[in-house]
Structure 1
């Protein structure tokens, strides 16, 4: 719009009254352009600030979600805390079973060893 207004002015006014009017007109156009420039700068600053605010809000939402999931995480950890004890107990039982297996294997492979005899109370099937 400003370029159309400037284009409507006489190129080189000869009359002093017309030259004065063109000068005043150009001053008014400059003020208008400065105002539009300031408005654009303000809009750009607003856009920058809202972009930063959006990033902070997304971060806030992520923190909030992690905080809500924290209770579920604690419950999960509480349920699995006894796993360490169970693993230790199972490892102990595994070692005992390995010892029994080794002892039985040695007994069965010893020369002159006899297979175990069934208990008289419990006949074989």
Structure 2
């Protein structure tokens, strides 16, 4: 693809290993960006710190706490202080409110810590846009665009290109590319951009050359996906023509009958033969386009089979 087209592609915020369970994938998609970038449960503090942040420390809280202490220390029906009997309902409600205010932030904190712990466990199985350098971002955007184009195509949806197989192989290819690009980005970010002396310059040049070779290899994978997407688009166009010819042919029976009844001569026969030839030509072109797309799909999956 050309650079002006690449600049318009959207870099995926999140690319997930398709081998992860569906529930885990959904958890990752709904997680906050900050949770995905730094899924560290220890950085969230303890449950008591969450309680301290969440509990409103106002005069109402102090009164409820004092009433609860008094209630549980003997102020009841047999209390020598009858004037305080009216506090019973208030103390009961206040104590329930206090328990609720204590439990809600604690339970929420524990749920959040459990989710972050799970995200931390699968951190290697998803790639964020911030994990990638600009060159890697563009390659991943191109790969995602090609995969999406194939899966949106009519020949894919109508199962002319083995939809079930595509739904498995294409996400796997996209994930392999994302994983390689993350590793490339990690090495590039750790590589100096400028040599500090004459002795370091040839070493740095060789290192950067190998790094570029690795990037070129990843780009070849992306180009293979784009080639498959282009051939799928060509098959889609042929498919649209083929369907249009079918629609015309569906109404052609009445037309043929009309021609046969109105002019039983060589002209009518030629018209009918012409319609048949057109339909055959488009059908053959559609089959050829499908065959090219299938060959590209097999070539794309060849490394996986090896």
Q: TM-score, normalising length from structure 2?
A: 0.22
- Relative to the length of structure 1, the TM-score reads 0.46
